[in-house]
Structure 1
């Protein structure tokens, strides 16, 4: 299929892979917060849907989730789910992050997404993972099975359609979770800061201590400075 005439700043990267694989964008949300899970999402669009997106006919305003307002992310979220041929979101717990480290947690999220989509597609084509960032997973034996099917993209959430879509699914899913969990831990006001290390959040940690969903490995440096 020929590449469409672009009406956006996205690179039509997925077209390189359709003939021999299923291109899937992957991104995460929540690498840096003091509390809450890491969220990882995978999105794959059909060739036809990708063409419509690149021509600006559907998913208008799609870009890196960090560039969008909460209202715009929420409006795009159901449209992405409707348009994608495959999508999946998963959380990696604070306990896992503390035990294994954030990079291993990101890899775990990627592995979970890839395994589920592989089982559900039943396609003769392998997945091609288009991953935002520039990770080095070579130290992890589990990476060997995916390494040959993966490509990293610096600022991929600004450049690649499926990665941008994944960034929105990951971000909205995590934000919704933090809003929900704030009902269980109202004293921390997770609905306001989503677990990030804001001044308000740090003040509340000093006042109340750490909750079950705080990342000990992330709050240690802050607490040691007190």
Structure 2
């Protein structure tokens, strides 16, 4: 068996060994613009196409897009979003937890599980179910890795839609992250209400 295949099977076995679980992950904690998006995933059936799943940050955009449909076919999925106003009012960590709670709430009510595997070293605040934080979980758990891809693709597509309305900011290229192109666009055109995170722009704008 190929080493790459073994690694992916280990990710699947990690979930099985932890019982009846779902995986939760987020995308968009660091950008200067756009929401933070969380996703939850629980495997329904396993097939070899899932062996390509990995941490979303280690996959190309094209690979993530192709796996997105595979995951929707083979996992139960829920998505939660916290918008820019919530990020500015709650802070990014609490907004992330809010998005995660919403993702779990948006999972089909027929889906039952006993534990939530959460990527990182924090449990989800204000969530009362059993949780297991998993450091680097998107490289250890298949369900967390699947959730990371759903969250990332969902958020990227939202930023691409925003770019159609505000082409001068080139959101389709940087997805809201603080690249030189993005920072220069903010300095030249100003921040966009409801799109840019005011609490993230203080150093750039000198406020």
Is this a same-fold pair by TM over 0.5? yes
Structure 2 residue 187 is the aligned partner of structure 1 residue 206: yes
Deviations 1:170-205 (A, max 9, x none): 001111110011111122111111000000000000
5+ residue gaps, structure 2, are none
Pick the aligned partner of 1:45 from 43, 46, 67. Answer: 43
Alignment partner, residue 3 of structure 1: none
Over 3 Å counting, the alpha-carbon distance change for 1:122 and 1:68 in structure 2 is: closer
Return the offset for 1:79.
0.3
Pick the aligned partner of 1:129 from 116, 132, 136. Answer: 116
SS of 2:79's equivalent in the other structure is strand
SS of 1:78's equivalent in the other structure is helix
Alignment partner, residue 68 of structure 2: 77
Structure 2 residue 177 is the aligned partner of structure 1 residue 196: yes
Runs of 4+ in 1 over 3 A off after TM superposition: none
Give the Cα–Cα distance (whole angstroms) in 2 for the partners of residues 136 and 220 of structure 1: 29
SS of 2:164's equivalent in the other structure is coil
For the Cα contact (< 8 Å) 2:79–2:104, is it kept in 1? Answer: no
5+ residue gaps, structure 1, are 1-5
Give the TM-score taking structure 1 as reference length: 0.82
Alignment partner, residue 6 of structure 2: 7
Give the TM-score taking structure 2 as reference length: 0.89
Pick the aligned partner of 2:30 from 28, 32, 35. Answer: 32
Return the offset for 1:112.
1.0
Deviations 1:26-53 (A, max 9, x none): 110000000000010110013x52xx4x
Note the aligned Cα RMSD (angstroms).
Answer: 1.8
Give the Cα–Cα distance (whole angstroms) in 2 for the partners of residues 27 and 197 of structure 1: 21
SS of 2:23's equivalent in the other structure is strand
Structure 2 residue 166 is the aligned partner of structure 1 residue 222: no
Return the offset for 1:209.
0.6
Deviations 1:116-153 (A, max 9, x none): 32x61264xx441101011265xx5x24x13xx11111
Give the Cα–Cα distance (whole angstroms) in 1 for the partners of residues 203 and 140 of structure 2: 34
Alignment partner, residue 17 of structure 2: 16
